[in-house]
Structure 1
Amino acid sequence: MSSSQHLNEQPVMQPVMQPVIKVQQVKKCYKTYRKPIHRLWQSFFPKKTYAHNFWALKGIDLTVHKGETVGIVGKNGSGKSTLLQIIAGILQPTEGQFETHGRISALLELGAGFNPEFTGMENARLNASIMGLTRDEFHQKLPDIVDFCGLGDFLHRPVKTYSSGMFVRLAFAVAINMNPDILIVDEALAVGDVRFQRKCFRRLDALKEQGVSILFVTHSTDSVLKYCDRAIMLDEGELKMTGSPKDVVQAYLEMMFESDADVQAPVAINAEDYAVDFDPTVDNCVKQPTYNANEHRWGDGRAKICHYEVLQNGAYTSGLVKRGDRLTIRMSVLFEQDIDELIYGITVKTEDGNAVYGTNSRLVSDMPLSQKGGDLVPIEFELTLSLLSGHYFISLGVAQDHEAKDNIAVDRRYDMIHIHVGTTPEAFGYADLAGKIEMIDEVHS
């Protein structure tokens, strides 16, 4: 290459992804009053403060790019819906700024934007007009709206006669047919029936392929793992985490099931009836050939999973198994202190974090619910691997039943065990349903 050729070369410019949503230090404050009369007094005496400030959002930064699907998780009251309403333009922030680029279609709380006295058809026409669609554009979209919602004659009845599921059907059908650049969904799909939910998620996939950016709130962590490119977690109005769906979901679950218990000093080990060839005071799991060093471990530490073994049809395995094998997983739990209402659990997941099977002793067993500090307890799980080829991760856990939180994590080791199920050329997916395809000789009447 000559020097002149080198000098004339132009650097290759990488395309810059323009954000369709940009939120910068957005805060939202609501005025609350202890008594209704205080609101009246405030109007008469503006220099005196009767209100208390409730900050629903406390400085949120968020950027969403074209074609990206972002899930928002968090406890009730964490500010998820408030954030979506600000992005949709329904609320104005108290502080900070935001910008959006493109047409926004929002499916917020049930019935939002619908006049209960209008029919479904009239509400659909009204929403299309608000979104900027012309009469001709609406009539072009109408057949798809009618077909997707499947409400039939109910479209010509007032929406005040609709069930919650019918509301969702109409609202979603209208929202996805407004040619949106940004689609916002706030937990509304949880109300619909399972078949309609599946239909909705298929359409969301299609919209994403068309470059539509999707922002949705859900309590379904499986949906976040399956459909989102990225996730964020809110808590008490603050952005606690943003990252991959798997990492955010794990942090969210940890927050939901965290313990308030104080961890006490360990007591002497009691293992007279349980012969072991390992030191239960150290973590022996890391020595196993199937151990995944990228596991996610969390819990209050009142008990610890200190050892496990994996057997394939009764023999120890390195993790390479076959479809139909009988898998035995033995774990040893050392209790640091007394715990009652115990739960032992196991979950099998795909490599992208979707659960294919899970169970626990609360569901299927009458095992002892209490253990004393110092106890070393063996637990055995048995599974038949009715799985197709692929990499799978097994999580083990010890938890305590809890009336308010459902359960409290004591020691959860997510994705601790890695197995690989051998090749299955005749099928695809995860589960082995032993399917057959054949041509029958005659049709039975």
Structure 2
Amino acid sequence: MENSPAIQISDLSKCYQIYGKPHHRLLQAIFRNRRYYKEFWATRDISFTVEKGTTVGIVGQNGSGKSTLLQMIAGTLTPTSGQIITNGRVAALLELGAGFNPEFTGRENIFMNAAIVGISRAEIEELYDTIVSFAEIQDFIDKPVKTYSSGMYVRLAFAIAIHVSPDILIVDEALAVGDVRFQSKCFQKFKELQKEGVTILFVTHSTEMVVKHCQKAIFINDGAMVDQGDPKRIVHKYLDFIFSKNPEQQAKQHGTNGDSSTESDMDGGSVLVDRCTLRNSYNPGEYRWGDGRARIVDYRITCNNDAYPIVIPQFATVQIEMDVDFYEDVEDLIYGLTIKTVDGTTVYGSNTRDKEIAVSNAQAGTSAIARFSFTANIIGGDYFISLGVACKDEIKGNIPVDRRYDFIHIKVEDAQDSFGVAALDMDIDISQRDAPENRPDKGSPS
């Protein structure tokens, strides 16, 4: 069993019987040969394997079956069909309050949850003070949890889950309820658990978290698995699904070849479709999505009068221009730029909407140039720049028209005098002082 996967899921399905009227349940119990309900399949025929020590992120829209899947793996929901094999102790942090008896105190819920996962009373007594301290609810531990706020619920549930020595930790977005400081503490604990070889399975709407923290990702929609594998590839596929149309497909509808970097005929004229791929800083691993009403067809980078620099000096001013061609009329335009580290951490991002810059509407057949300028106040290393064009919709929010994600690769010189992400150009000054016994103000403070 040492080399067995942590989790094995085979053809897992969950079906709910939906009754139109309350008395239909009684009729169904009496007349079993007739059907008085409609079937709703929350999940259907899902299969995957998770190796030990792997962190897996599950993405999908609301109602896609993610939470149902986690509940079945955690053992709090019985599947209709299929098989679940877990190797090791499972701890789960599911929807708010799951696994808690609201009438019990926090203390009683700690011992109850520990008993459920097989922790002896003697063991949990040793861990009790650590759990309460981590949850930061010392003053409320002997009060019924039904009196707790949502934040207190989450803190206690997470503290229990991570301190019962789990082999498998399951988290269903519950951390979104906690405050920022507690979330930071939880992610620090996540890193510790990863180093200890704990298998982590979590649901999130944050694609950045999936790329940064996971070794594997799973995309679920309408209760079925769409794809699984490399986190960045799965995130790109998920984003493409959300925004429906790939601009490469849309471009074909407008008579352009999305893969071309050379000239082609369009309406009898010769136009350059996309020169971006000719630039030495272009990242061929970019991902692109949007509705295709416009396309980013070229870009320029300048720094210290140097075009397309190989290395950008730290603290230098960088200018980036992007050329955009419009194939349809687009109103309420937004132009934006984002800088990220190689592991997907956002360093900086802004756009014309956030900067409250007025942008004219665009008509079909026209083009525009968007210019961005910033100071490279970042630590030396490799970064990816994403450029995008979107439009504002009062109902749907921002609609991507053409976004090129991880589009441009830049390298900032390494000053080798600092670490982290931001370069703050810090000065350090040290002043020597007399020994305490020689100071004029020696002695106890009054």
TM-score between the two structures when normalised by the length of structure 1: 0.89
- Inter-partner Cα distance in structure 1 for 2:276 and 2:360: 24
| C-alpha contact 1:258 1:409 (8 A) present in aligned 2 | no
**Equivalent of residue 96 in structure 1, options 66, 72, 82:** 82
| C-alpha contact 1:20 1:64 (8 A) present in aligned 2 | yes
Q: What pairs up with 1:350-429 in 2 under 5 angstroms?
A: 350-429=341-420
| C-alpha contact 2:330 2:363 (8 A) present in aligned 1 | yes
* SS, match of residue 90 in structure 1: coil
- Inter-partner Cα distance in structure 2 for 1:19 and 1:61: 13
| Aligned match of 2:263 | none
1:241 matches 2:232: no
AA of the residue aligned to 2:106: G
| C-alpha contact 2:378 2:423 (8 A) present in aligned 1 | yes
**Equivalent of residue 315 in structure 1, options 306, 311, 314:** 306
| C-alpha contact 1:246 1:353 (8 A) present in aligned 2 | no
Structure 1: give runs of 5+ residues left out of the alignment.
1-14, 268-278
**Equivalent of residue 69 in structure 2, options 83, 92, 99:** 83
1:135 matches 2:126: no
Deviations 1:101-141 (A, max 9, x none): 11101111111111111111111111111111111101111
AA of the residue aligned to 1:337: E
| Aligned match of 2:163 | 177
* SS, match of residue 333 in structure 1: strand
* SS, match of residue 274 in structure 2: coil
- Inter-partner Cα distance in structure 2 for 1:337 and 1:354: 34
RMSD of aligned C-alpha atoms? 2.2
> May I ask how many residue pairs the two structures share in their alignment?
420
- Inter-partner Cα distance in structure 1 for 2:236 and 2:181: 28
| Aligned match of 1:342 | 333
1:431 matches 2:439: no
Q: What pairs up with 1:39-58 in 2 under 5 angstroms?
A: 39-58=25-44
Q: Equivalent pairs: percent with the same residue?
A: 49
- Inter-partner Cα distance in structure 2 for 1:95 and 1:345: 47
Shift of 1:429: 1.7
AA of the residue aligned to 1:38: H
Shift of 1:405: 3.3
Deviations 1:204-253 (A, max 9, x none): 11112111111111112222222211111111111112122222222222
Deviations 1:75-111 (A, max 9, x none): 0001101110111111122122111111101111111
* SS, match of residue 19 in structure 1: coil
* SS, match of residue 170 in structure 1: helix
| Aligned match of 2:5 | 19
1:223 matches 2:209: yes
Shift of 1:260: 11
- Inter-partner Cα distance in structure 1 for 2:271 and 2:206: 37
| Structure 1 stretch displaced more, 103-112 or 218-227 | 218-227
| Aligned match of 2:287 | 296
- Inter-partner Cα distance in structure 2 for 1:332 and 1:260: 19
* SS, match of residue 156 in structure 1: coil
- Inter-partner Cα distance in structure 2 for 1:402 and 1:240: 28
Closer/same/farther in 2, CA of residues 434 and 63 from structure 1, 3 Å limit? same
* SS, match of residue 206 in structure 1: helix
Shift of 1:266: 6.3
Shift of 1:39: 2.3
* SS, match of residue 258 in structure 1: coil
Shift of 1:330: 0.6
AA of the residue aligned to 2:383: Y
| Aligned match of 1:287 | 278
AA of the residue aligned to 1:112: A
Deviations 1:261-306 (A, max 9, x none): 9956469xxxxxxxxxxx7541011112211122112222111111
AA of the residue aligned to 1:300: D
- Inter-partner Cα distance in structure 1 for 2:8 and 2:277: 43
* SS, match of residue 25 in structure 2: helix
| Aligned match of 1:271 | none
| Aligned match of 1:195 | 181
- Inter-partner Cα distance in structure 2 for 1:259 and 1:361: 24
* SS, match of residue 14 in structure 2: strand
**Equivalent of residue 146 in structure 2, options 149, 160, 163:** 160
- Inter-partner Cα distance in structure 1 for 2:87 and 2:148: 34
| C-alpha contact 2:243 2:291 (8 A) present in aligned 1 | no
- Inter-partner Cα distance in structure 1 for 2:102 and 2:288: 49
| C-alpha contact 2:303 2:309 (8 A) present in aligned 1 | no
| C-alpha contact 2:240 2:246 (8 A) present in aligned 1 | no
TM-score between the two structures when normalised by the length of structure 2: 0.89
Shift of 1:362: 1.5
| C-alpha contact 1:280 1:307 (8 A) present in aligned 2 | no
- Inter-partner Cα distance in structure 2 for 1:369 and 1:85: 49
| Structure 1 stretch displaced more, 348-357 or 101-110 | 348-357
Structure 2: give runs of 5+ residues left out of the alignment.
257-269, 434-438
1:73 matches 2:59: yes
Closer/same/farther in 2, CA of residues 80 and 404 from structure 1, 3 Å limit? farther
- Inter-partner Cα distance in structure 2 for 1:433 and 1:257: 37
AA of the residue aligned to 2:314: R
- Inter-partner Cα distance in structure 1 for 2:255 and 2:245: 18
